[in-house]
Structure 1
């Protein structure tokens, strides 16, 4: 190191200084700023779940619209995460973080003034694009700010912040919607983003750009198109009809697009997605458990909020508090997960976690009625949350441990993608099952004239009931509430069956592997390159 460089590293650093090997002096304050960006990104989805009934009424949104409003964000986020990470490495992680937050915050502001469901869906997609830049950029900066001995603690704090967003989101949404309209679920992001931008500019350092492979834009486009077609086929089927031409053709188009994506990636020396990893049984099963976890999480929360608010008549705040047992159990068991994994091993922990999810959802699907007390649902949700919290960390460890070292970076990147795609499919599949069964049940009511719209979805039924006589309104809401509860139970049972299938696949297919030993903290940090930045994405 030259004398000039030495002087620079001992001087009081500015946010534009490149961190030295001993760590950026203001790294813990900067970490809090980075965590605040993650809270904003995760808070949005959990706040939105509480706002779904208000959105249905305010924008005259159907169940399919609500599914798209929720899924548009996650779909774009998952499909573009790898590409956004590569762009961030190419142009600078701090710059990508700032740009992503501007997109996310700007999209939130415009979404808040949307007048149609279509407008809101479009701006939710823009928000997802911004979020895709935020997550990998924060991780890349953390890697460069912290010395090797402190990175594990930094990553633990970063991961916990995501749990904070999920935990406080429903309560925050409930409190906001008690006093304001559904748009407050989006306006809340604006001050959070502005505060984060100020903190980043003042505290978070600039890190060097990383050399990257050529951008694979065609692969990114194919992934967005393919996933969009698949989700559209699932969500729109109840409205179009399961035998409609478009419904039948879209899965075929998805297969063609997916095949084109795979062929392209196999032919590239440096693909966006290393498709050959999916030939690894351990990788596939561990990734599958994460997909199942988020399938159940997103799908269950999507319908539970409507059940609490419309069937039980809870206020938005009480409905938001209704998700607390689930989130609290998930957070508590996440902290105990290392102890459980040390005793049961990765395979044992994953099967136990999936078994808890299957049991909780199964009991919910078999016992829930329109009059089920909250304490019973809370116990079932705690069981599901505990199972999820138990298995997320060991599944992530297995994903990276099951592949050769040269592929660990790509495996780590796909970790995040698989989780988000599981959530996308959870909302699409469970929401569609609930919608289809509800329509079938309400078809037996032979609704005609102005009341026919009540057969489309539960929010519409409650809106129609407001304009009927008390006796007619009572009969209609009773039938609609019963139909929705039965439909929700069927969705829960399907999610439980998927989790139970995961238990069998992991139990018989995953190699027995003990929890990995802790890496000695005294080991010198290796030079950070593009692959290292991608490892934890």
Structure 2
């Protein structure tokens, strides 16, 4: 078997006076905190688009006659293209230059945003969102890779905590920004607002971010990128189509089977080629495996919960887009408060990585349960749930990101960031698809009229009693889906913590053996 581990060692990253002193000890870049601010601005531009579309769902449903499946594809087209391309983008950044890929990514993302803002149909918007995912893939891999290059190992946890806080801020501030724009402009404005931000980030990156690369980096694995994109797209399509066509229908079974075959071919391909974008040997590291497993589930819970909650606030409780955004903001504010102040990092340092992940994901699961069971009694239950999810994210997410990045060689920082971003984007897309499918199945079983979506069901209702039954069915579906998400997050957290605890014990035994020798 031929793997990347059998190749000659990769050359060290292209050194600079600030990052590679003569004695070989890593030293932080002189302007590293300014550079962190610049790359966080670029990161924020992309992350807002992961959730900004959520509050536009009612507008798109009315103006484009979009079904629930159309809406889910508008969201998933962006995240799934990113998921498929992040690993190859990371390889390209390591080989050709991380600053160069940042600039290219910003330019592509801006062009895609313009196309999305001017789209005239659901199909055009889905295609534009997929195009934005190409630029987003380049941005998401290079920002974290640059953080690992310009900060010392001692400073990396704090820097990743800030980077993670910006992730959560962009993730949860999307509904707020989108709500403000929709209250004053038409739905296309939520994409056009990206243009000035992308232009500012482009200028700042060109002026301040240093170039770094691995001169003998691996060649981009284009076949692997195509296989992973097709496989994950087919998998999510099967999940989305299940409630509408039936889980045992030929369409769903064929798509699920195709996903399994393509992803199996992808795994085989990666194990055989000399330059894989995803080295299978990484998964032999328990620390790496535990961290990536937890990362998928933490984004699974956040992505699915926010997607469903924004619909509930608007369709059932009747809030406007801006009001709905404001009521989901406490989650982001909690993450920002804990990570920008350094409190989350201090707690994580005291608890250690395994316990931090267990506590973080336990808090997230409790938050999902709170939203599922207490939302019907008023906003207090939702607020409690959002704060708990935010606290869990602040504690667990930076620890998992650092565990992933510290498990791969420094010269493979782009690949490590690609893995981190791939799994986060896939978890987000899978959360929307799975929890959305659970809600749709429950809703279809309880709703008294036949309809493809909640707005369509309300429009077909002939009386206030039927409308009340329809909103009640949606609320029941929301409760069921969030409880499913909470169980998945909790079990995933316990599994990840167990794997990381075993990795710590193995490292301690190896250190003692080396000391005795």
User: TM-score, normalized by length of structure 1?
Assistant: 0.82
Which residue is equivalent to 1:461?
457
Among 289, 295, 298, which residue is 2:300 paired with? 295
Aligned residues between the structures: 483
Which residue is equivalent to 2:8?
none
Measured at CA, do residues 473 and 285 of structure 1 come closer, stay the same or move farther in structure 2, by a change above 3 Å?
same
Question: What's the CA shift string for 1:43-86, capped at 9, x where partnerless?
Answer: 12232222222222221111111111111111111211111122
Question: What's the CA shift string for 1:312-356, capped at 9, x where partnerless?
Answer: 111111100011122222333444333323333222222222222
SS at match of 1:511: helix
Check whether the contact 2:361–2:490 (CA below 8 A) recurs between aligned residues: yes
Check whether the contact 2:116–2:191 (CA below 8 A) recurs between aligned residues: yes
Check whether the contact 1:368–1:485 (CA below 8 A) recurs between aligned residues: no
Q: In the aligned structure 2, how far is the partner of 1:250 from the partner of 1:176? A: 37
SS at match of 1:323: helix
How far is the alpha carbon of 1:479 from its aligned partner? 2.0
How far is the alpha carbon of 1:127 from its aligned partner? 0.6
Which residue is equivalent to 1:485?
475
Which residue is equivalent to 2:510?
none
Q: In the aligned structure 2, how far is the partner of 1:510 from the partner of 1:140? A: 23
Check whether the contact 2:356–2:396 (CA below 8 A) recurs between aligned residues: yes
How far is the alpha carbon of 1:508 from its aligned partner? 4.8
1:396 aligns with 2:401: yes
How far is the alpha carbon of 1:119 from its aligned partner? 1.4
Which residue is equivalent to 1:51?
56
Measured at CA, do residues 282 and 244 of structure 1 come closer, stay the same or move farther in structure 2, by a change above 3 Å?
same
Check whether the contact 2:361–2:489 (CA below 8 A) recurs between aligned residues: yes
Q: In the aligned structure 1, how far is the partner of 2:290 from the partner of 2:149? A: 32
The 10-residue stretch of structure 1 (94-103 or 484-493) with the greater mean CA deviation from structure 2: 94-103
Which residue is equivalent to 2:65?
60
Q: In the aligned structure 1, how far is the partner of 2:248 from the partner of 2:354? A: 41
Q: In the aligned structure 2, how far is the partner of 1:366 from the partner of 1:500? A: 17
Check whether the contact 1:57–1:463 (CA below 8 A) recurs between aligned residues: no
Check whether the contact 1:289–1:502 (CA below 8 A) recurs between aligned residues: yes
- After superposition, residues 443-462 of structure 1 pair within 5 angstroms as 445=448, 447=449, 452=450, 455-462=451-458
1:425 aligns with 2:430: yes
Q: In the aligned structure 2, how far is the partner of 1:33 from the partner of 1:138? A: 9
Check whether the contact 2:161–2:398 (CA below 8 A) recurs between aligned residues: no
How far is the alpha carbon of 1:394 from its aligned partner? 2.2
- After superposition, residues 148-297 of structure 1 pair within 5 angstroms as 155-207=160-212, 210-297=215-302
Among 17, 21, 27, which residue is 2:18 paired with? 21
State which structure, 1 or 2, has the greater radius of gyration over its C-alpha atoms. Answer: 1
Q: In the aligned structure 1, how far is the partner of 2:92 from the partner of 2:262? A: 24
User: TM-score, normalized by length of structure 2?
Assistant: 0.85
How far is the alpha carbon of 1:294 from its aligned partner? 0.4
Check whether the contact 1:403–1:411 (CA below 8 A) recurs between aligned residues: yes
Check whether the contact 1:21–1:147 (CA below 8 A) recurs between aligned residues: no
How far is the alpha carbon of 1:25 from its aligned partner? 6.5
How far is the alpha carbon of 1:301 from its aligned partner? 0.5
Q: In the aligned structure 2, how far is the partner of 1:228 from the partner of 1:204? A: 34
How far is the alpha carbon of 1:303 from its aligned partner? 0.7
Which residue is equivalent to 1:7?
none
Measured at CA, do residues 339 and 228 of structure 1 come closer, stay the same or move farther in structure 2, by a change above 3 Å?
same
Which residue is equivalent to 2:22?
none
Measured at CA, do residues 144 and 489 of structure 1 come closer, stay the same or move farther in structure 2, by a change above 3 Å?
closer
SS at match of 1:82: helix
How far is the alpha carbon of 1:477 from its aligned partner? 2.6
Which residue is equivalent to 1:505?
495
Among 496, 501, 505, which residue is 2:486 paired with? 496
Segments of structure 1 that go 5 or more residues without pairing to the other structure are 1-17, 466-471, 516-537
Q: In the aligned structure 1, how far is the partner of 2:293 from the partner of 2:286? A: 10
How far is the alpha carbon of 1:363 from its aligned partner? 3.2
